[in-house]
Amino acid sequence: MSGAPLASRRGPALDVAVVGGGMVGAAAALALARAGFATALLEARAPQAWNAADEVDLRVVGLAPSSIALLDETGVWASIRESRSGPYAHMHVWDAETGAAIDFDAAAEGRDLLGHIVENNLVQWALWQALEGAGVRRLCPAEVRGLEVREDRVALELADGESLSARLVVAADGAASPLRAMAGIAVRGRDYAQRAVVAHVATERPHERTAWQRFLPSGPLALLPLADGRSSIVWSLPEAEAQRVLALDDAAFLQELGVASDFRLGRIVSTTKRAAFPLRLQLAETYQADRLVLLGDAAHAVHPLAGQGVNLGLRDVVELREVLRSARDAGRDFAAAHVLRRYARRRRSADTLDARGFDALARVYAWQAPPLVAARGIGVRLLDRLTPLKRRLAEHAAGL
């Protein structure tokens, strides 16, 4: 998309300016526009057009029922599902050291599916395609260089010298969020000193609409079911080991991956190119500043072992929409500090519990001492038998 003309940048008064057009930012802009807020979306680079003839994007997301419900409400889920999505009804998680396993089954939860595996760029492209029809003003390329908080709005200074203002600014500009830094919000966390190696592989046996995850001493390996019958792998490894695996030729990589997956789906018979991205736990100290809130990775980055990163971001979107709509419908300033605090408290509390839970799980599976490994195996087997607790975990992951 070419740069927006000057008139559209000045345009009518805005209720909300969303900065960052990834999946979470685009979903926020679309959801808020459909809720009746005059909304603009600012993004430095337009997403690459999705095409069914292209190879499946290496970055995929496991969309939980709560995320699918939001995408359905905003009118994009049907096109995503019909384009290319991998539904899964089962999840099998097992420990390489003890063999202890836990199974989740949609039918046991009274549902048809646990979720869908979908390409990141398909979700983002579908959202972008829907923005204009919802009345969202797309400013792209647009880069925010500064912000000034005024009594009733925030003025954003753009890199091209232009400016615009809105009653509320939503920072959805990623884990390195420049807006978060401009607002003076600090972050806490830790670097896992790991990378997630990703690729799509064909296997000797079908994936059976099941998400498979094996916890190894070096980190978890997930095989996620794609629509075309292949599996997407997310293999968390220490930095040096990830670099070594990336450098393997295909034959050696297929063999090592087969061993790591315990050949659960038989031999790994082919692979796409591989990529890797660093893993970090990061939480913003607050999700709110004057007339500004954080969403998605700008607020939280979590370990991918539970596949919940984007789902947490989309739950941020739902909470923000409901808080803002409730205040507006009651005739209050929806960007007032006390209103934004309600959103910030609820979501930071929920996200912190999830992020710390994922972090604790990663630490538990990193245990090497034999007594601790044995205790872990007993705990996993016990959890698999505790149906009510297992159901609560499944419902939480689904966002229900």
Note the pLDDT tens digit of each residue in 221-275.
999 999 999 999 999 999 999 999 999 999 999 999 999 999 999 999 999 999 9
Which residues, at least 6 apart from 55, have a Cβ–Cβ distance to it below 8 Å? 272
Note the Cα 56 to chain centre separation in Å: 18
Domains of the chain, earliest start first:
6-363 (3.50.50.60)
Check if the beta carbon of residue 237 is closer than 8 Å to that of residue 194.
Answer: yes
CA distances from 285 to 33, 181, 230, 308, 351 (A): 28, 12, 40, 20, 12
Specify the pLDDT at position 317.
Answer: 98
Give the β-pairing of 60-63 and 137-139: unpaired
Note the pLDDT tens digit of each residue in 340-357.
999 999 999 888 887 777
Note the pLDDT tens digit of each residue in 296-333.
999 998 877 656 789 999 999 999 999 999 999 999 99
